[in-house]
Structure 1
């Protein structure tokens, strides 16, 4: 039996070598959790993708569209830090599958929803599933990283970005032509996700058993030699950068289709395809940013990603359709490289609290996306869709404050390249 090759089962494949549970990069788990992130965010991205349909069916205003996003994003954000803090102390390996069950319930409810308030209830259930999934799945990615934290977070994050990109595309093919009820087909992805996450939960449980038997493995991260005040200021700067990124992203994910329809008179299906192009670029940029952060330092990637995108966002509202799509793709590539670098930078600032930090930053990101969408919807009703794109184009200029972040590679005494 000792000479048999490992099983392709992501849980069973690691039983043959307990040492690999804490010391090696477990790619089977990283790609598995990335796949479930794809499923999770694909299902979530159906919500904004069907906005044109439900806006017309229920005669909703842009303010109400913004409130739908706000409801989803707030339920997806407010609970995340609490979930992360709780599981830092008491890990729950099978909570991932339970969270996916809430998403399944929300999708089924959304396919049958017949009023604005039932839509709000449906998206709240989907958001609740997300609030459980993100902090715990980030912890799994961290545990499976083998020290290559930027690479691991990028592999995990690219799954979510790929899901966000494919969701609108599938919605354009399945929901837009046939109607709201066909959202129920996405429930199949939720069931698949629950089954896969049970396997991940088994690996997670085994990892916890091994780490508890080897206390030194749990104390591998020493952390930077910085004062608590400097760490707090750095975390605040990172949250401001998250605000600038996700407030701008809210203008694209919630209103880019309306912008294209309003300004260039494109069809709903074509607008979804153009949104897919942007989100596909986001997925590609995530992989690039994580690996570059491991190699050159995360501070520089954060700086380039946020501030470096400003010239393109400032230009986008003033060009024709072709250049609008080209610039949107460039913006997606550059801006998306920031989040993995920001999250890993934050976990390096506060080692040993991956769940809390992941919950805080994912939650804050979702919260800013929700508040941004609601505010921009309210503003669009009073001005125009084109105006909000002009206004949001200045947000990446906040990236200048990245210069105040310390270089953690020098503070920790070793270069943090994983």
Structure 2
């Protein structure tokens, strides 16, 4: 059974991130139900991400000090219960509360989740993080599709299905966690024995290069979160599709990540994480610019082009997912929990702070014009990637 432990953690990641994907998928419904502006819709995303962004580095730091892997189960449970409650509330303010608590659950889950997967990976950390990332990508891919199908057919009360799944997986994780930790300790000992003939280097933290990596994380997060938040609205308002097709677009966006996150982990192990991060930004930058131009094309090619560009952006984001985590954990070898809280947690949430700003610009001008403001962030990220150094050369 021990060989299935990484997949159990990956499954919990899928459920946790599927809860995170529900809110963007249902924004068109909430906009219609509560008469929200795009700026208010952006504040829902902000509520889902702001406190989470602040908490994750702190929780990662505490994870290094206290080591409480059962927080993986607690975070999943809180995210799932908060998501289910979205189907039962009756006001915009209540939605804000649910969105905030779901984000807090995510912030509790990610640092410990990434930390335990780092240990379970042994000498193949890129592959382990790629496996872990499949869970997140699957959640973001199928969460919108499932939530959209429920909300637009059965009704919003069907979101309780997320709560049920969360209760089941969190219970299993809580009961099995002592065995998972014991297995991780066995792997740690095996790796130490394998490298016993090599002089052991003291663990160091390279804060300068981690700071440069954080600039890249910020540039990616801003683009990822805003695209994640407004793709359904972009599809319905700018491309003239139905809300269901808007939710499907999110599924397309994240489906490519199911494969590319794993491939990105393997490529990171083979060629080094820095090269894969640079490749990601080289693909992402022109794709983001082209997406804002899609509504200007003829109706004949508009939709195929939009989906093609969406796939390119999703692939670019996905291949850098594992390399960013592994590189961050390597730069901060003495503080893996804190590094995980930044690279895995904050990278997924901090960009939501920009969502209300983009929403306000979209209300004032247009959504494509507002999304164009994301391109400079990617330019900064690409320049920063040129300043990174291979951790092996820093020893």
When normalised by structure 2's length, the TM-score is 0.90
Render the CA deviation track for 1:178-213: whole Å, top value 9, x for unaligned. 332221122121112212322441224425776999
Larger helix percent? 2
Q: CA deviation at 1:109?
A: 2.4
Instruction: Please say if residues 137 and 254 of structure 2, whose CA atoms lie closer than 8 Å, have aligned partners that are also in contact.
Output: yes
Tell me the secondary structure at the aligned position of residue 386 of structure 2: helix
Q: Per the alignment, do residues 213 and 164 of structure 1 end up closer, same or farther by CA in structure 2, a change over 3 Å counting?
A: closer
Instruction: Please say if residues 224 and 411 of structure 1, whose CA atoms lie closer than 8 Å, have aligned partners that are also in contact.
Output: no
Which ranges of 4 or more aligned residues in structure 1 deviate by more than 3 Å? 207-217, 219-225, 409-412
Q: Which residue of the partner structure matches residue 68 of structure 2?
A: 92
Q: Which residue of the partner structure matches residue 297 of structure 2?
A: none
Question: Is 2:142 aligned against 1:160?
Answer: no
Query: Which one of the candidate residues 263, 275, 278 is aligned to 2:253?
Result: 278
Return the alpha-carbon distance in structure 1 between the equivalents of residues 336 and 176 of structure 2.
18
Q: Which residue of the partner structure matches residue 415 of structure 1?
A: none
Tell me the secondary structure at the aligned position of residue 79 of structure 1: helix
Q: Which residue of the partner structure matches residue 38 of structure 1?
A: 14
Q: Per the alignment, do residues 222 and 383 of structure 1 end up closer, same or farther by CA in structure 2, a change over 3 Å counting?
A: farther
Query: Which one of the candidate residues 303, 307, 321 is aligned to 1:325?
Result: 307
Render the CA deviation track for 1:94-119: whole Å, top value 9, x for unaligned. 22222222223312322211111111
Question: Is 2:319 aligned against 1:337?
Answer: yes
Query: Which one of the candidate residues 331, 335, 341 is aligned to 1:359?
Result: 341
Q: Which residue of the partner structure matches residue 369 of structure 2?
A: 387
Q: Which residue of the partner structure matches residue 384 of structure 2?
A: 401
Instruction: Please say if residues 74 and 370 of structure 1, whose CA atoms lie closer than 8 Å, have aligned partners that are also in contact.
Output: yes
Q: Which residue of the partner structure matches residue 294 of structure 1?
A: 269
Q: Give the aligned CA root-mean-square deviation in angstroms.
A: 2.4
Return the alpha-carbon distance in structure 2 between the equivalents of residues 180 and 39 of structure 1.
18
Q: CA deviation at 1:263?
A: 1.9
Q: Per the alignment, do residues 98 and 367 of structure 1 end up closer, same or farther by CA in structure 2, a change over 3 Å counting?
A: closer
Q: CA deviation at 1:215?
A: 12
Q: Which residue of the partner structure matches residue 306 of structure 1?
A: 281
Return the alpha-carbon distance in structure 2 between the equivalents of residues 323 and 367 of structure 1.
28
Return the alpha-carbon distance in structure 2 between the equivalents of residues 297 and 334 of structure 1.
16
Return the alpha-carbon distance in structure 2 between the equivalents of residues 82 and 151 of structure 1.
27
Return the alpha-carbon distance in structure 1 between the equivalents of residues 117 and 20 of structure 2.
20
Return the alpha-carbon distance in structure 2 between the equivalents of residues 287 and 212 of structure 1.
23
| Structure 1 unmatched ranges of 5 or more | 1-7, 14-26, 413-418
Instruction: Please say if residues 93 and 204 of structure 1, whose CA atoms lie closer than 8 Å, have aligned partners that are also in contact.
Output: no
Return the alpha-carbon distance in structure 1 between the equivalents of residues 175 and 62 of structure 2.
22
Q: Which residue of the partner structure matches residue 298 of structure 2?
A: none
